[in-house]
Amino acid sequence: MNLFEYELPKTDSEIFSTLLTSDNVTIKRIISNTLSTSQTFVQKESEWVVVLQGCAKIEIDGVIHKLKKGDFLFIPSMKEHTLLKTKKVVVWLAIYIKEENGKD
């Protein structure tokens, strides 16, 4: 498997592919294609995400993070965050982490 060999989603949409799952960690590749419609997320797991290709804007607590290739963020569980837009195709690697004490 290669992170950069993927099916391109339709414009203004995303494809999530699970690469690995264990007891408390899930690793996904996300392909975003020229998103212009913002998407808001609140997840039970904490998320560490890195941009492997492309550029994106994410808003967390009123702060806009402009991400480019190599930039990463940590998003705590239950923290609302909004993917505002992407420039062309963005390839992300996301690591989702469940709490050790069984708390989701």
Among the listed residues 94, 3, 93, the one whose alpha carbon sits nearest the alpha carbon of residue 47 = 94
Domain of 61: which CATH number? 2.60.120.10
Cα distance between residue 86 and residue 11, in whole Å: 11
Which residue range is the domain that position 86 belongs to? 13-97
| 1-42 pLDDT tens trace | 899 999 999 999 999 999 999 999 999 999 999 999 999 999
Written as one letter, the residue type at 79 is K
| SS3 state at 98 | coil
If one counts the domains in the chain, the total is: 1
Are 76 and 46 spatial neighbours (Cβ–Cβ below 8 Å)?
A: yes
| 35-94 pLDDT tens trace | 999 999 999 999 999 999 999 999 999 999 999 999 999 999 999 999 999 999 999 999
Among the listed residues 65, 17, 12, the one whose alpha carbon sits nearest the alpha carbon of residue 38 = 12
Q: Is residue 8 part of a domain?
A: no
Q: Is residue 6 part of a domain?
A: no
Are 89 and 34 spatial neighbours (Cβ–Cβ below 8 Å)?
A: yes
